[in-house]
Amino acid sequence: MSTEIKLPEGAPEEVVTHAFVRDVDLTAFGGAGKMALITLDNGHDHNRPNTFGPASLISLKDAIADAISRSPEAIAITGKPFIFAAGADLSALSFIQNRDQSLAIGKLGHDVFRMLDESSIPTFAFINGLALGGGLEVGLHCTYRTLASTAFTALPEVFLGLVPGWGGATILPKLIGPERAVQVIILNSLNNNTMMKAKDALKLGVVDAVFDPADFIERSIEFAVSILSGKSIIERKDYSNDPAWESALETGRNAALKKYGGAEIAAPMKALELIAAARGNTRSEGFDAEDQVLADLTMSDPLRASLYAFNLIQKKRKKVEGAPKPVMARKVSKVGVVGAGLMASQLALLLLRNLKCPIVMSDIDQARADKGVAWVHNELAKAVEKKRMSPESAARLAPLITGSADQNIFAGCDFVIEAIFEELALKQELFKKLEEIVSPECVLATNTSSLSVEKMSQGLKNPERVVGFHFFNPVAVMPLLEIARTSSTDDATTATAVAVGKELKKTMIICKDAPGFVVNRLLTRFMGEITDAVDEGTPPEIADSAMSSTGFPMSPFQLLDLVGPGVALHVSETLHENLGDRYRISPTMQAMVAQGVRNFYIKSEDGSISTNPAALALIPKGGSPSTAEQVRMRALTALAVEARMMLDEGVVATAAEIDLCMLMGAGWPMHLGGILPYLDREGISDSVCGSRFHPRGVASLP
């Protein structure tokens, strides 16, 4: 077994997870003899999970050998408090330039883990906390598995552009069957990396028993004793001849195609191939196949792109670029929401659930205000019904939200956000009224998507406390929050906005107050090129499918249906007014809004999707059609031009922030690694802007 694997040059130094062995006297648990218990611990608190890099794997190898040499009745492996293992240490992968090196890391993991699988001594995984990827796979190599009731577990590799490469794709299908394996490996990953709760893992057969964390190790040892004594027997089913193999694989394939707009993305397709091969492969054959696939994926741009995107998201969740020191933030103990429509009500619910402080809503009459409050109460009741909130929590929160037609209810608020109709004069008038009610320190925030925050603050006594606070719909689901500073917004206001955003668990960027901020400016420019092509005579089906090969989950016109033609037209008109003729107003869009046509696509009773004849009838008969490739290039060229202008204007400080916004606010696919690395790889950045947005090797092979 190879033990010498040198990390690639420039890679961060591995934080080694050490494996320690101690003997446990089984007689104290009603058994006989001893158990060799291996504990994984990287020496950090629970904020730094155990991971497996080459040195960590070698430490585990030595520990397993030590455990075997003690001739125990059983061998068990567990983690440090709250954490079992979060899988492979991915920090060095983007630095690997040699396929053989990648292959060696894959083989090392297999060689170490299978020591547990192939031992003549019964092996147990006591999964006491989070177990992801290789963390779960080391458990799958054991004979039996227990799981803490509070723990989450998953095989998230496909989400990251990988496959379960240390046994997961080979062992799991035969352990729990093809349908469940596809659920865990493919469907959960594609569904925004859904993790299994303990009860789900038990129901699926991924683990054999679940115990509460308070006495988890003791109960797990008792479970092991009952297995060793024969009092408990875990039966394993042979799934080799299960008739569901083909249908399960087809389900996984269809889910992957749907997720990526019909494009065949390598990671899920390769994972499905490994699952299919597991039906007839020996474990050694399956492990060898995993090694080869993992090495191929590691040496590909999609993986480098996914890792760049994943690491960017993780980093920006923790640290907001350009944020003032947190100590400057003011305390927020009462929040006002102006408006009680759907968007405002969503904001009120989010603020209530996370800040757990009094929330006051207002609208033009009491009936509308009451309707907004009732909607929030109804959502709390739904959360209780779906067991996402305890009845006690809902009972505590419900009285905290009130509504009124009288804006004097905002007196005493520390933070007020408006979500009224998108008309500048209305918002200016509102802020002047609020200024007479709230204290000079109260933050006045606007959820505008495209209007000038600077103009909203003009004429106010305290313009420094006005800030853009732009959410994306649906508010509870979309993770991005754009915080827009005007030329007057002070650091205390910005720090308070960031502090509130953190309480709301949002990923934030701080941007300059500019038309459309980041996401809407880029999306509107992109969508404008698509609609322009249609207005010029390009068949809608050709224009709408022009970007399908990249793996977007939605086509441009599907996105238009989601946003709504009215909102899209309003944003494009605002940007046209502020940024000029490159933001053209589409006659088709104008006609759809004027005629009340709300959808480009319609769904039939049988679930099939077709183009709406009412929308087609409104498209002008242009005489300059384009090919799909011409539409794709004009759209990407426009994005490159606009992104370069935004950086030159200082809308955001870095290219990475634009990538983050498009990933988190526009659904830009993870496997593309962000909009700007994609434009770099396609050569569009150089040809259009004269230079790349990122250095070579960022989100791609060097």
What was the pLDDT predicted at 403? 98
Q: What is the mean pLDDT of residues 58-68?
A: 98
pTM for the full predicted model: 0.91
What was the pLDDT predicted at 94? 82
Is 531 within 8 Å of 588 (Cβ atoms)?
yes
What was the pLDDT predicted at 3? 55
What was the pLDDT predicted at 592? 96
Query: In what side-by-side order are the strands of the sheet with 34-41?
Result: 18-25, 34-41, 74-79, 123-127, 144-148, 209-211
Single out the residue of 37, 111, 109, 113 nearest to residue 79, CA to CA. Answer: 37
The pLDDT tens digits for 154-172 are 999 999 999 999 999 999 9
Q: Flag the least confident range among 79-88, 118-127, 448-457, 542-551.
A: 542-551
pLDDT higher at 96 or 328: 328
Q: Go through the domains of the chain in sequence order and give each one's CATH number.
A: 18-299 (3.90.226.10), 326-510 (3.40.50.720), 519-650 (1.10.1040.50)
The pLDDT tens digits for 116-155 are 999 999 999 999 999 999 999 999 999 999 999 999 999 9
Burial of 236 (0-12, 13-18, 19+ CB in 10 A): exposed
- State both tokens at 560: 């238009």
pLDDT at 265 over 90: yes
pLDDT at 1 over 80: no
- State both tokens at 464: 């420094």
d(CA 98, CA 316): 30
d(CA 25, CA 220): 14
Phi and psi (nearest 5°) for 613?
-55, -35
The pLDDT tens digits for 506-535 are 999 999 999 999 999 999 999 999 999 999
pLDDT at 702 over 80: no
The rounded radius of gyration (Å) of the Cα atoms in the chain is 28
Single out the residue of 511, 515, 517, 487 nearest to residue 498, CA to CA. Answer: 511
d(CA 639, CA 630): 14
Is 278 within 8 Å of 284 (Cβ atoms)?
no
d(CA 272, CA 248): 10
pLDDT category of residue 4 using cuts at 50, 70 and 90: low
d(CA 287, CA 140): 13
C-alpha torsion angle, residues 567, 572, 578, 580 (rounded to 10): -170
